[in-house]
């Protein structure tokens, strides 16, 4: 019985030093550190120490419970990474691949136009390019993450930033972008 208990606890201790559980704990501690960075130094230290002890003790006692959660988390991370890789390999042009402002051009009909890809300034200000999915017109939106859904094109079409960019004139995906202004 004692041997079982000792090996259970030693496995718990090992899992807070190495492996995915240890990684998760370090991530949590880092998050606590950044979220308490405005508070006093000593207070922050105390909070981090308390968090380390609680997480450590909890993990040593209940680590078998944590593994399914962590594996699930890792799986979804891997899936997201695969999706991102697919987009990177995609020959088509995406807004996330370009920055600054510059000239959009179509290789099929040689249409070209100055557009904004992504500009950012002080205090988190951002101006992001987006495209009407109906007529193809280029637009720009401030702080797009919470603004884009409310904005519409004059034609009534929805604006998107995550879809591949197409030529507004001939709708070809054989398009390019040349950056003129870096931000």
Binding residues for Zn ion, how many (CB under 5 A)?
15
∠ CA 125-126-132, rounded to 5°: 150
Judged by CB, which is closer to Zn ion: 80, or 113?
Answer: 113
Tell the smallest beta-carbon distance from residue 167 to Zn ion (Å): 3
Stretch touching Zn ion by CB under 5 A, among 41-49, 76-84, 116-124, 133-141: 133-141
**Residue 152 binds Zn ion, judged by CB under 5 A:** no
Tell the smallest beta-carbon distance from residue 93 to Zn ion (Å): 12
The CB-side HSE value for 71 (13 A sphere, CA atoms) comes to: 6
**Residue 51 binds Zn ion, judged by CB under 5 A:** no
- Residue 79 is encoded by which pair of tokens? 């899936």
Per-residue x/- marks for Zn ion, 100-129, CB under 5 A? Answer: ------x-xx-x------------------
Sole binder of Zn ion in the list 87, 169, 173, 183 (CB under 5 A): 169
Phi, psi dihedrals of residue 47, rounded to the nearest 5°: -60, -40
- Residue 83 is encoded by which pair of tokens? 């999706």
Residue 180: CB atoms within 10 Å: 10
CA 22 to mean position of chain CA atoms: 23
- Residue 117 is encoded by which pair of tokens? 């890809």
Stretch touching Zn ion by CB under 5 A, among 2-10, 12-20, 75-83, 137-145: 137-145
For residues 138 and 134, give the distance between their C-alpha atoms in angstroms, rounded to a whole number.
11
**Residue 170 binds Zn ion, judged by CB under 5 A:** yes
Extended strands (E) in 70-156: 100-106, 112-120, 126-132, 138-142
Sole binder of Zn ion in the list 88, 103, 155, 181 (CB under 5 A): 155
- Give contact residues for Zn ion (rule: CB under 5 A): 106, 108-109, 111, 132, 134-135, 137, 153, 155, 157, 167, 169-170, 172
């Amino acid at each position: 019985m004692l041997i079982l208990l000792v090996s259970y606890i030693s496995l718990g201790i090992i899992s807070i030093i190495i492996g995915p559980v240890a990684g998760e704990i370090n991530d949590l501690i880092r998050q606590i550190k950044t979220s308490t960075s405005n508070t006093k130094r000593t207070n922050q230290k105390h909070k981090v120490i308390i968090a380390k002890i609680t997480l450590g003790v909890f993990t040593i006692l209940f680590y078998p419970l944590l593994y399914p959660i962590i594996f699930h988390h890792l799986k979804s991370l891997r899936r997201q990474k695969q999706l991102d890789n697919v987009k990177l390999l995609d020959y088509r042009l995406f807004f996330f691949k370009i920055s600054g402002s510059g000239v959009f051009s179509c290789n099929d009909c040689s249409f070209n136009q100055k557009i904004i890809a992504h500009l950012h300034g002080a205090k988190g200000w951002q101006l992001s390019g987006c495209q009407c999915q109906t007529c193809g017109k280029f637009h720009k939106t401030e702080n797009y993450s919470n603004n884009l859904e409310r904005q519409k094109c004059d034609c009534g079409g929805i604006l998107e930033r995550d879809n591949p960019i197409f030529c507004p004139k001939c709708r070809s995906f054989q398009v390019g972008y040349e950056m003129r202004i870096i931000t």
